[in-house]
Structure 1
C-alpha cells in the first residue's frame, strides 16, 4: 500500500525516504528532490493514518526530519505534485493549511484566539520583525530591498492610499504593536485610534507611543472592533481580516461602513486565496498557530461589501511579496534559534520554522496572495487613476511641512 501510494503521489521530481534501519526508497525521478528521514517504522503509519495533523505534529516531535534541501525542498516537491493529491490526504496541511471549521469568533473566542498567538513572547517577535514590528506582508517595490525597507515601503504605500490630511481621525482595526498607527500619526499629522485584543501588543504599543512623544495623537484600546463607536475620516486594517472568520464577514464590513464618514476612505489589507474557496477542515496551523482563522477568496467577501453599499475603489493584488517576507523572517528566526530553544523549547522552534517555511511555500508555489481592498462611501472619494500612488513622491506631509518651515525660518 505504501509503495503504490507514493508511486501515485510522485509524478514530478523525486522523494527519497530514509528509514530508521538505514534502508532507502526512492519514488519518481528528476527535480525537485526532497529527502525525508523517518525516526521509526511507526512514523509512516502515523502520517498515512492522519496526515491532516500528523505531518506537522510528527515534525514537531522529531519523528521525521528533512535531509538535503531542508523543509523548503519537501514543500517544493509537494507543490510540484499538488494535482496528484486532490483525492489523497498525505501532506494535506500544505494544500489546506489555513482552513478552519471553528470560525464562529465570538468576542470572547476572538480575544482568546488572538492571545494564543500574539501573547507568546514579545521578545520572540522583536527579534525577527522590523523596528516597526510589522507582522504582515512587506512591499518589495524595488529589487534589493531589505525587510526593514520593504516594511517601511508598505506603510508608506498604505498611507498614500488613505489620502490623509492633517488633523483627520483614523481608526486602525487590529493595530498589532502599533507600528502603522504611530507611522500615520508621525508622518501625516493625524489622530489615530488603534484596536487590539492582545495584552502584549497593547502594552508595547502604549509604551512606544509614550517613548515617541505621540501619546497625544495616538490612542490604543484593548477592544473588539464590533464594540467600537465613532466616526473616522479613514479606516485601516492590516493582517486582521484573516482572523475574522466567515460568519462575521458581513458584521465586519457593516462596522467599517458605520464608522467611516461619508467622504472617508478605508484600506483593508489581508491574505486571500487566488482560486476556488476551500473545503472546511481542521488543520495543524489552525490548531497550533492561528485558531479561528480562515483565508477567503474574492467570492467569500465581495458580496458582503456589496451589501454595505460602499464603493470598491480599488483592489490591488500582491503576488510573491509574502513569500519574500516569510523567507526573511525565517532567516532572522534561525539566527536566533538557540535563544528561542532556551526560552521556549525545541518543540516550539520546530513548530515555528514549520509554520514559517510552510507558509512561504504556499505563497511561492500555491494560490495565496495579498489583497488590498480600498473602500469608500462616495465614488469620487479617491482619484480615478493610480497615478497618485506611483508618481514621483514628495516626502510624507508632516516631513514636508517641517522642511518648509525650516526653509522659511532660514529665509
Structure 2
C-alpha cells in the first residue's frame, strides 16, 4: 500500500477511512476530527498506484468497475469524506505538482471550437431523452433549481428558478428573445406563456432540439417559439433579451472572450442578458479529470475572476449579480433520489457500470455544492447602465406579478412522479 498509505495519512483529517486492501489487510486513517466513518475494500492491487498518482480519476473508475466497494458505509459516505478533506489532498506534494501540470494544459482540455463543441455535447446530452425523464423534473430542466422552501417539490423549485430568471430579464411584449443552450426548451416556453414575445432557442443536442420543438407545438407556441440545432456563434440576428442557463460551463476559458464578444454583437443597444452558470468561490483551477473524461468533456466551472476579465474587455455592464449556494446541492439530492428509484430501469437501458458511473457523478456533484467550493451565479449583463431599473426591487415585484399570471394562465408546476416525493437524503 505504500506510498498510497502515506498520502492517506495526510489526506484524512476529518472522519475515519478504513481500507481493506486486496490481500485482506486493514489500514485505518484519520480520526483526528469528527466526520464520516467509511470502510472501503479494494480488490485490485493496481489501485495502490493509480489512487496515489491520480486519486480523483482512479476512485471514480474503480467504483464504476466494482474494484472499490464499501462495507457498512455507502458511496455517499465516501464522497462526503472525500469532499470535506479535499483541501488536504490538494496540499499533498504530488497532487500539487499534478494540478500545476493540469492547469498548464487547461486551454487544451477546454477547447470547444465549432464542430468539436457539438461532439462534446452529444457525448452527454444525446444518450436518450427517456433516460433523463427518469430523474429530472417533468419539464426536464437539467440545471440548478431555486428552493424558496425546504418543502418545495423539485417541480416547484424548478418553476421558481424560471420565474426568478424571467424577472431579471425585464420582458416587454413584442421583444425578441434568444436562449443560448436551450436544453429541452422549458425556459423559453415559460417566457412565451407569460409575455407576447418571439423566441429562438439554440442547442447542439439533437435529442433536446427535437423534443423542445415538439413541446412548443403541443403548447400551441410553435408560431412564436422555435428551437434550432445550431452553434450560437453562427447567429447573426439581434435580440432584445438573451438568456443562457447551464451552458456557459461548456464554453471553456479559452473561448470566454469569444462568448462575450458574441453576446455584445447579438444584443440590441438597450438589450439585457441573464447568464446562469456554475462557478466556484476558489481561485482558477481545472475540471475534475474523472468528470472531464466520463461526463462532460471540454467542460469547466469558472472562478468569477476568470469571467469578469472578459466581460470588461467586451464593454458589458454587470447590472446585477446573485449567488445560489446550497440550491444545487438540494437539486442534486432530488435527482439522486429519483435516479435510485429508477435504478433497475437504468440498468435495463444501459448496464450496471453505467448506473455506478451516474451514481458517482450525481453524488460527487452534490458534495461539491454541499461541502465544496461550487456555487451558481446569475450575472445580468447590458450594454448600457440603465437598461434595467436602478433599484433592485423590480426583481421581487416582477416575481409576485408572475405568480399571479401563472395562476391566471394555468402555468402551475406539474405534479411530481409518485416516487419523487421523498425528502432530501440524510447527511452523514
After TM superposition, the score normalised by the length of structure 2 is 0.88
The DSSP-based 3-state class of the residue aligned with 1:14 is strand
Superimposed CA distance per residue, residues 43-98 of structure 1 (whole angstroms, 9 cap, x where no aligned partner): 333322442421111111110023334122112212332232123367999xx99x
Further displaced range: 377-386 or 232-241: 377-386
Q: Deviations over 1:154-180 (max 9, x none)?
A: 000001110111221100000011111
Q: Could you list the per-position Cα deviations for residues 191-229 of structure 1 after superposition, in whole angstroms to 9, with x for gaps in the alignment?
A: 110000101001111111111111011011111000001
State the match for 1:103 in structure 2.
110
Inter-CA distance 375–333: structure 2 relative to 1 (3 Å threshold) = same
1:243 aligns with 2:250: yes
SS in 1 for 2:134: helix
Pairing 1:130-145 to 2, within 5 Å after superposition:
130-145=137-152
- Is residue 47–residue 58 contact of structure 2 (8 Å, CA) maintained in 1? no
Q: Is 1:213 matched up with 2:220? A: yes
Query: Kindly tell me: are residues 80 and 53 of structure 1, through their superposed partners in 2, closer, same or farther at Cα, counting changes over 3 Å?
Result: closer
The equivalences for 1:164-313 within 5 A come to 164-278=171-285, 280=286, 283-313=289-319
2:65 is the alignment partner of 1:61 = yes
Aligned-partner SS, 1:292: coil
Distance 1:86 1:45 in 2: 17
- The answer to whether the aligner puts 1:336 opposite 2:342 as a matched pair is yes
Deviates more, 1:215-224 or 1:6-15: 6-15
Residue pair 2:18, 2:26 contacting (<8 A) in 1 also: yes
* d(CA) in 1 for partners of 2:404, 2:151: 27
Corresponding position of 1:380: 386
For 1:319 and 1:264, how far apart are their aligned partners in 2? Answer: 28
- Distance between the aligned counterparts of 1:74 and 1:399, measured in 2? 42
> Partner residue of 2:75?
71
Q: Secondary structure at the match of 2:17?
A: strand
Q: Which residue of 2 aligns with 1:161?
A: 168
Counterpart position of 1:8: 10
Q: How many residues align structurally? A: 399
- Judge conservation of contact 1:253–1:308 (CA < 8 Å) in 2: yes
Q: Distance in 2 between matches of 1:399 and 1:281?
A: 39
Deviation larger for 291-300 or 392-401: 392-401
Q: Secondary structure, in 3 states, of the residue corresponding to 1:177?
A: coil
What secondary structure, in the 3-state scheme, does the structure 2 residue paired with 1:262 have? strand
Task: Note if 1:319 corresponds to 2:325.
Answer: yes
Residue of structure 2 in register with 1:393 after alignment: 400
